Amino acid sequence: MSISKNQFKLITSLSQKKYRQKHKLFIAEGIKVVQEILNSSFELETLFCTDDFSSDVSEEKIVRVSEADLKKISNLKTPNKALGIFKIPENKRDVNKGLTVALDAINDPGNLGTIIRLCDWFGVSELICSTDTVDCYNQKVVQASMGSLTRVSIRYVDLFKYLEETPKPTFIADMDGENVYKTSLPEQGILIMGNEANGVSDEIKNLITHKISIPRFGETQETESLNVATATAILLSEFKRSY
């Protein structure tokens, strides 16, 4: 069997958000990521794979392809045996307990993927994204999240409105904030992380109840800031270490 013209066109179109939203489909690649998504609650549309990729997917959903054909549809430098088209699940319900992470205009797909992995690791119940945050079904996000995408509840919302309405304590990282190592952090709350270049927008800063800071230990005090993903790692670790 080989890839039909229509399949090729569909796969190409799914690199754009508007077509992902229209078709409610997204792409994942490589043995590891595809296998993790196959083992999750996500639903497979079609699996393109080489003969040596084994899975328990029913044959009618499989298109066996040559290495050369896989290369044609792949976005990876080194295509790795499988490319799956999966269905984007319905927007999940509001999860109203535990720690929530909210992202304000995160642009970099690698950062979002890493933050999704962190949310999975630290058992964050929900990840809220502002509508101008990069799409979590962007292929680079899918690849960077390494399957964690299937285990974290992610919603895109009007972040200002969401924060205006929440009764939970809200936290941002701010150099003028309280030393996070000396702050008692609640089990329930919302940690808001901001855009790579501009941080959290002023509009949203005005809604925040708590500012916390990660102290700088370097002698020169010149390091400008931590990358948003590493700052998220440190703060989630602080929220969770006491529970």
Rule CB under 8 A: say whether 140 interacts with a second copy: no
Closest separation in Å from C-beta 227 to a second copy: 6
Report if residue 122 touches a second copy, rule: CB under 8 A. yes
Residue 6 engages a second copy in binding (rule: CB under 8 A): no
Which of 117, 139, 141, 188 binds a second copy (CB under 8 A)? It is 117
Tell whether residue 93 is a contact of a second copy (CB under 8 A): no
Return d(Cα 52, Cα 201) in angstroms, integer: 49
Helix (H) or strand (E) holding 135: none
Distance, in Å, from the CA atom of 69 to the CA atom of 88, rounded to the nearest integer, reads 25
Can you tell me whether residue 174 is helix, strand or coil?
strand
120 binds a second copy (CB under 8 A): yes
Name which of 144 and 159 has its Cβ closer to a second copy.
Answer: 144
* For a second copy, the closer CB: 83 or 233: 233
Cα angle 7-10-12, degrees, rounded to a multiple of 5:
110
- Is 224 near a second copy (CB under 8 A)? yes
Spatial distance between the Cα atoms of 95 and 126, rounded to a whole number of angstroms: 6
Identity of the residue, 107 or 230, whose beta carbon is nearer to a second copy in the bound complex:
230
How far is residue 175's CA from residue 69's CA, in Å, rounded to a whole number?
51
Residue numbers 34-53 binding a second copy by CB under 8 A: 36
Which of 181, 188, 198, 209 is close enough to bind a second copy by CB under 8 A? Answer: 181
CA atoms of 145 and 42, how far apart (whole Å): 15
Structure-derived torsion over alpha carbons of residues 71, 77, 79, 84, reported in degrees to the nearest 10: -90
Residue closer to a second copy, measured from CB, 2 or 237: 237
Q: In this structure, which amino acid lies at residue 230?
A: T
Question: Residues interacting with a second copy, by CB under 8 A?
Answer: 36, 110, 114, 117-118, 120-123, 146-148, 151, 181, 214, 216-220, 222-224, 226-227, 229-234, 237-238, 240-241
